[in-house]
Amino acid sequence: MDFSWGYLFQGFATALSLQNIFWALLGCFIGTLVGVLPGIGPVSGIAILLPLTTVLPPTSAIIMMAAIYYGAMYGGSTTAIVVNIPGEASSVPTAMDGYEMAKQGKAGPALAISAIASFVAGTISVIALTFFAPMLANFAVVFGPPEYFALMFMGLSLVISLSGRALLKGIISMAIGLGAALIGQDPLTGSARLTFGFVKLLGGVDFISVIVGLFAISEVMINVEQRIAAISKLDISNWMPTWSDIKRCSWTMLRCTGVGFLLGLLPGCAPSVTTFVAYDLEKRVSKHPEQFGKGAIEGVAAPEGANNATSTAGFVPLFSFGLPTAPSMAVLLGGLMMYGLQPGPMLFKTNPDFVWAVIASMYIGNVMLLVLNLPLVGMWARIVRIPFYILGPLIIFCSVVGTYSIRFQAYDVWVMLLFGVIGYFMRKLGFPVAPMVLASVLAQMLETAMGQSLLISQGSPLIFFTRPISAVFMALAILSIGWGIWVQVRAKTLTAAVEDEEY
Amino acid sequence: MVSQKVHLSRAERDCASTSSLPRAQEDSEYSEAEVRTQRTADIAVGCFITLLGIFIVLASTTIQGGAAHRLPPQTFPMVVGFLLFLCGIALAVKSWRLRGTDLAIKWPDREGFLTILVTLASLAGYIALMNPLGLPLASFVYIAFSTWYLKRSKWPTAILIGLITGIISYVLFIRLLALSFPEGSLFGG
């Protein structure tokens, strides 16, 4: 199960089949589109499409989903640079220098360098993923249910403590996600839980309804309330960066890849965090820190590169542990489970053809995105100009179609509507959304792992602390929560507690 | 998503504004919005979450089933209930005792609220009409209505986009992908 070139080449052979190239290309296209359009991001994009892709074979479907994800990371920068509306939270630092460059008439080079930085960082990260993931998976084969429970527990507590200083709100958000996932029949005993006598609720709450509601519907609500009509008329004719621009950014790209990738391995370090870290680092090491914020090209390359490095790094814990580190990874995990693939170390053993095809497709996808983005930058910038009164209803249409096709019942769409409203209030009141998403996807795995562990230990919860690996994870989880509480206690004023709400 | 810092003293309330996102937020029309602070909102939400927690704990006690030496089906819902209960209290108490700088929540103005309500109501109507009218027709009605609602002057565009969406939803989802969406009587389903 170690890395072998044979597997990788076989993966390339699968990924390069005409059919899979088509799905990857479609994924890259949809991803860029989803990233470019305000009001819809990679998470809702993947979640909406997931139920519809059940007609595809699993490899093609996941290749397309992964392409949507990293495609959206490319696309998010376009709106940030051209109209100063960051399509995703992770593109906020890009907007700082990118929009300045655009105002100085250098929108083309800014867009191009962001595509190039994304390509460089994305490709290096896929190489790291290729060698890293099987190594970690090798380590994880010895994991039993207690280790898995401890790992997921650690993942959740890291996401909570890293999701800003609003620790209490993070826990509440997680608990609601967990509670929503528990509604319905208990998988083990079949007894009805939290259904309050409603027969409909026996079917449970599907995580896709939760995610589409939280991300797509609440985003549309925020947008119609602001009545966004913002559409720019920047002229992008000259889009080629000069060689000196690229040379100037070459070290930047390498640094941000390192930062983005390493931080991206941790649960909770979403691209929205690492892009800020990378931007800050570049500013510190730069010889001209005063140019940052005024249109420094490194200020565009750094966050964009880090963005792609982080999103690729997220696949390492997903493939080797089955642990999602961010909402988008949680949706992909849900997708894997929908296809009956058990994510985790055994995936490399039981479905090597699948894993390696998906990894190989990422190399291809990065090239596709560069090709798709460089010459088509003008087209993407024009798409940004679609006014929201057209876009908003269309996003809702896609959300309805996506959630309806989970089970072809209106019930799932009603659940989506409910979570749209919940998501709206969460954004307004500064509750982080990520813990809720992760909890709703992980709930069942958590409960199963705990049940099996207690069966091994004949009911003693000490099993999580007596086995060395799970003890380390539990200790880290407790440490991260303790650290969160400590920060919370120190933050006496509300200002500090809510300032980091941005997710 | 971005909060404005507003100091509690009235004089400062109007002038203070720090935004961590660039222009996009500054442009939005929030000036008329009523200022309800993060503190009161957190107290209210804390109380609500506490009640929700109690409710879930009570509901968990009615769950039946379970076997010896197995994780009982009540445990996880019970834990969720207790977590919500405790965190709800903590959030309410913490905000209650809070002194110093408070934050304003950017609620929409009246018109903004109305737009949101109509958007939600039309979505609800869309879902409700899905089975009786079928996906193509319901989508046409929904898209045409909400596009028109968001931009009154563009009603021809609204109808056109509604038509295109309706046709695409029929051709793509019902004919090509053969998914079991309701077709509605219009298409002989």
Q: Name the nearest CA neighbour of A83 among A284, A234, A257.
A: A234
Residue B29 with chain A: CB contacts under 8 Å: 226-227
Residue A341 domain boundaries: 5-140+147-229+239-499
* B103 beta partners: B5
Residues B95 and B122 in one domain: no
Q: In a mutagenesis test of the B interface, which of A193, A425, A499 is the best target, namely the one with the most B β-carbons within 10 Å?
A: A193
pLDDT of chain A, 503 residues: tens digit per residue = 567 788 889 889 988 999 999 999 999 999 988 888 877 778 888 888 888 887 888 899 999 999 998 888 888 787 778 777 666 667 778 888 888 888 887 888 888 888 889 999 999 999 999 988 888 888 888 888 899 899 889 888 888 887 666 788 999 999 999 999 999 888 777 788 888 878 888 888 988 899 899 988 988 898 888 765 544 455 555 666 677 788 888 889 999 999 999 888 887 777 777 888 888 888 888 888 888 888 888 899 999 999 899 989 999 999 888 888 888 888 889 888 888 888 788 888 888 888 899 999 999 999 998 888 777 777 777 777 788 888 889 989 999 998 998 888 899 999 999 999 999 999 888 888 888 988 988 888 888 889 889 888 888 889 999 999 999 999 999 998 888 888 777 765 444 444 444 33
Residue pair A324/A333 in contact by the 8 Å Cβ criterion: yes
Residue A234 falls inside a structural domain: no
Looking at beta carbons, which pairs linking A393-396 to residues 24 or more positions away fall under 8 Å? A393/B142, A393/B143, A393/B146, A393/B147, A393/B150, A393/B161, A394/B143, A394/B161, A394/B165, A395/A37, A395/A39, A395/A40, A395/A216, A395/A219, A395/A220, A396/A216, A396/A217, A396/A220, A396/B119, A396/B123, A396/B126, A396/B142, A396/B146
CA torsion, points A447, A449, A453, A458, in degrees to nearest 10? 40
Fill in the DSSP letter of residue A195.
Answer: -
Is residue A348 within 8 Å of A190, Cβ to Cβ? no
B116:A224 CB<8 A: yes
CB contact under 8 A, B69 and A217: no
**Closest residue in A to B132 (Cα–Cα):** A410
Q: Supply the ipTM of this predicted assembly.
A: 0.80
- Closest chain A residue to the Cα of B50, Cα to Cα: A172
**Residue B52 contacts by C-beta under 8 Å, 6 or more apart in sequence?**
B84, B88
Range of the domain at B18: 4-106
The answer to whether A326 touches A320, Cβ cutoff 8 Å, is no
Residues B34, B116, single domain; the answer is no
Q: For residue B68, is it left (φ>0), alpha (ψ between -120 and 50) or beta?
A: beta
Q: Is A300 on the interface with B (CB under 8 A)?
A: no
The counts of H helices and E strands in chain A are 23, 2
Q: What are residue B9's DSSP bridge partners?
A: none
Of B106, B130, B163, which one is at a domain's C-terminal end?
B106
The count of CB pairs under 8 A between chains A and B is 214
Minimal C-alpha gap between B177 and chain A (Å):
8
User: Which residues have a Cβ under 8 Å from the Cβ of B96 and sit 6 or more positions away?
Assistant: B43
pLDDT score for B117: 93
- Give me the pLDDT at residue B9, please: 33
First to last CA, chain B: 44
Asked if residue B119 and residue B58 are part of one domain, the reply reads no
Quick one: pLDDT at residue B116?
92
Residue numbers in A near B64 (CB within 8 A) = 191
In whole angstroms, what is the distance from residue B129 CA to residue B133 CA?
6
Q: In DSSP terms, which residues pair with B106 in a beta bridge? A: B35
Q: Give yes or no: residues B75 and B28 share one domain.
A: yes
- Both B21 and B78 in one domain: the answer is yes
* A379 touching B (Cβ < 8 Å): no
Across chain B, how many H-helices and E-strands are there? Answer: 7, 3
Handedness of CA A325, B82, A148, A348 (dihedral sign): negative
Interchain CB distance below 8 Å, A498 and B49:
no
- Same domain, yes or no: B98 and B120: no
Q: What is the pLDDT of residue A240?
A: 67
pLDDT of residue B108: 82
Assess whether B125 and B87 both reside in one domain: no
Instruction: Specify whether the CB–CB gap between A211 and A217 falls below 8 A.
Output: no
Cβ within 8 Å, pair A392-B146: yes
Indicate whether B127 and B146 sit together in one domain: yes
Give the one of A186, A393, A430 whose C-beta lies nearest to B146's C-beta: A393
Alpha helices in A227-351 (DSSP H): 243-264, 271-285, 298-313, 315-321, 327-338, 346-350
| A421 at B interface, C-beta within 8 A | yes
Q: Is A228 on the interface with B (CB under 8 A)?
A: yes
- Give CA angle at A409 (A406, A413), nearest 5°: 75
Q: pLDDT under 70 in chain B at which residues?
A: 1-36, 66-69, 99-101, 185-189
**pLDDT in the model for residue A19:** 92
Give chain B's domain count: 2
Domain count, chain A: 1
Nearest to B42 by CA among B92, B113, B78: B92
Q: Which two tokens stand for residue A170?
A: 């993070």
Both B92 and B133 in one domain: the answer is no
For residues B77 and B158, membership in a common domain is answered with no
State whether B71 and A405 contact (CB < 8 Å).
no
- Are the Cβ atoms of B123 and A447 closer than 8 angstroms? no
* Residues B147 and B178 reside in one and the same domain: yes
* B185 min Cα distance to partner chain A (Å): 18
Q: Do A99 and B29 touch (CB under 8 A)?
A: no
Nearest to B71 among A168, A451, A495 (CB): A451
Q: Report CB contact under 8 Å: A394, B161.
A: yes
The answer to whether residues B126 and B100 belong to one domain is no
**Rounded CA gap, A295 and A273, in Å?**
21
Q: Which residues of B touch A408 (CB under 8 A)?
A: 179-181
How far, in Å, CA of A94 to CA of A336, rounded? 32
Domain boundary among B106, B122, B152: B106
